[in-house]
Amino acid sequence: MTLFQFGAEDPVRGYRTLDERVMRGSAGIMFALAVIAIVNGFVLKNYPVLPFISGFLVLNFLTGLVVNPKFSPTVWLATWLVRKQAPLPIGAAQKQFAWSLGLTLSAFIFAFSLLLQHDASWFGTTCQLCVICMALLYLETAFGICVGCKLYDLAIRVGLLRAPAIRPNCMGDACEVAPPKQDVG
């Protein structure tokens, strides 16, 4: 895996991959942070905690997308936690798309949580985005359902994104995987 690349090249599969166990572990760590944010911000009305947690998530996603997922703090910790388990390779392209959506969502939560520090009217918007974020992280962690990956597939089917030459597998092989093209000749 090169420094500035999302996923490792897999010569057998013909596309970049990530470890499914690590990605689910990373989502679980982010979910735990989101629970801490919800309890502090929305149960205890301790709003100053929200920008720190959402800011950390922005940096986490940004590091994974711009540099490399293995340098993302939650991926690093998840890698250490699952180090004795056999890796389960999944396609990196759809996970990169999902992380882009995660970055966007956490950036909005961060911005609204900063506004919330001075104006309580931002509570509803911030709370709704946090609940959406928690639901997405829970689905990923508990059931291996990557909603961002499903949206990636949908974007390809409706023509918003160009289809890759080789369609990567997704969590639990729940999506269609096109076989590599064979030269006839």
Could you please report the per-residue DSSP string of 111-176?
HHHHHHTT-GGGHHHHHHHHHHHHHHHHIIIII---HHHHHHHHHHHTTSSPPPSS----GGG-S-
- Tokens 């910790």, residue located: 77
| DSSP label of 82 | T
| Distant-in-sequence, close-in-space partners of 37: CB < 8 Å, separation ≥ 6 | 49, 50, 53, 54, 130
Enter the tokens of residue 155. 């974007």
Round to whole Å and give the CA distance between 148 and 127. 20
Q: Is 79's pLDDT higher than 80? A: yes
17-64 tens-digit pLDDT: 999 999 999 999 999 999 999 999 889 989 999 999 999 999 999 999
129-175 tens-digit pLDDT: 999 999 999 999 999 899 998 999 889 889 998 988 887 887 766 66
Q: What is the pLDDT of residue 54?
A: 96
Residue type, 40: N
Distance of CA 139 to the CA centre of its chain: 11
Q: What is the pLDDT of residue 100?
A: 96
Are 163 and 92 within 8 A, CB to CB?
A: no
Q: Is 118's pLDDT higher than 50? A: yes
Q: Is 180's pLDDT higher than 60? A: no
Spell out the domain ranges in the chain: 14-173
| DSSP label of 12 | T
Average pLDDT over residues 67-84: 96
Q: What is the pLDDT of residue 185?
A: 52
Round to whole Å and give the CA distance between 90 and 98. 13
Q: What is the pLDDT of residue 167?
A: 79
Q: What is the pLDDT of residue 104?
A: 96
Q: Is 1's pLDDT higher than 70? A: no
Weakest mean pLDDT among 1-5, 19-23, 93-97: 1-5
Round to whole Å and give the CA distance between 68 and 99. 12
